[in-house]
Amino acid sequence: MTKKNQNLTAAIIIFIGGLLSVLGVFIAARQAINDSEELDKKNKKIIELTEENARLSKQALDQITGGTSWAYVKSGLDFLHGIVDQPSIWTINVVGEIPLYDVSVVISEISHDNTLPTKSYKLTPILSKEFGTVTPSLHPDHVGLITLPKNKKRTEFQVKIKARNGEITQHIIFIKKDDGHWTKAEKVFRYRPTDKGGFKKEVLSEKINDDFPDKQHVLWIEI
């Protein structure tokens, strides 16, 4: 074999060796990609199962505590010209799909003391009731019969609704109009725990009738 042929043979061997090395690297890389894709699929499946378990756990906990459902008390008899000046049944109403458990309601009349330099008020309980479980319904449970005062132009109530998933506060303000009917403003809120150990107010509902005086400056009691 001539030297030229020897060089050619060596070059071919080197080329084939390099090609095999490249092929080996390619196969190893492809296998690594396949392994990575398989691992990603397994990790994705684990994440999906974890999320589903978390969702089911939360769902089960919500069924025990009441979840994000909340309640308010519907007050007064509303007609075209306002709330009529006569006794009315106040009812408890649930907002949300999950029932509320261990529910109790206390309604207090608010008396303001305007003689002091700072704003102060007194709460006088007028009605309380234990409900146990309260469900969303077209026929809400009765809290009781309440008569708005005949000798006042303004009266206010605070409603405390306690349930397994927390406490809800409702402030109701009635003002009597010149035609003898009442107009109303009301706010429903609760305080939710924060990650930092404090509490944050969550306004659940705020309704002010169109004929309520000075709508922009309603003084709410928010504790």
CA 159 to CA 143: how far, in whole Å?
11
Mention every residue, 6+ apart, whose C-beta is less than 8 A from residue 161: 71, 72, 73, 92, 103, 104, 105, 167, 168, 169, 170
Cα–Cα distance for residue pair 76/85, rounded to 1 Å:
9
Q: Are 96 and 136 in contact (CB under 8 A)?
A: yes
Which range of 22-26, 208-212, 219-223 scores highest in mean pLDDT? It is: 208-212
Contacts of 127 (CB under 8 A, 6+ apart): 90, 105, 106, 107, 143, 144, 146
Task: Say if residues 199 and 192 touch (Cβ distance below 8 Å).
Answer: yes
* Residue 120 φ then ψ, to 5°: -145, 160
**Percent of the chain, pLDDT > 70?**
71
Give the pLDDT mean for 16-44.
65
C-alpha 47/C-alpha 33 separation (Å) is 20
Residue identified by tokens 């305080």 is 191
Q: Is the pLDDT of residue 8 over 60?
A: no
Of 70, 116, 76, nearest to 93 by C-alpha is: 70
Residue predicted with more confidence, 46 or 179: 179
143 vs 50, higher pLDDT: 143
Residue 88 in this model has a pLDDT that exceeds 70 = yes
**Would the pTM of this model clear 0.75, i.e. be above it?**
no
Longest dimension (CA), the chain: 128
Q: DSSP strand E in the chain: where?
A: 70-74, 78-79, 82-83, 88-95, 100-113, 120-134, 141-146, 154-163, 166-176, 182-193, 199-208
Tokens of 33: 């990609």
Task: For residue 209, report the phi and psi dihedrals to the nearest 5 degrees.
Answer: -60, 150
User: CB-based contacts of 35: which residues, under 8 Å, 6+ apart?
Assistant: none
pLDDT at 150: 87
Average pLDDT, the chain: 83
Range scoring the smallest mean pLDDT among 15-19, 65-69, 131-135: 15-19
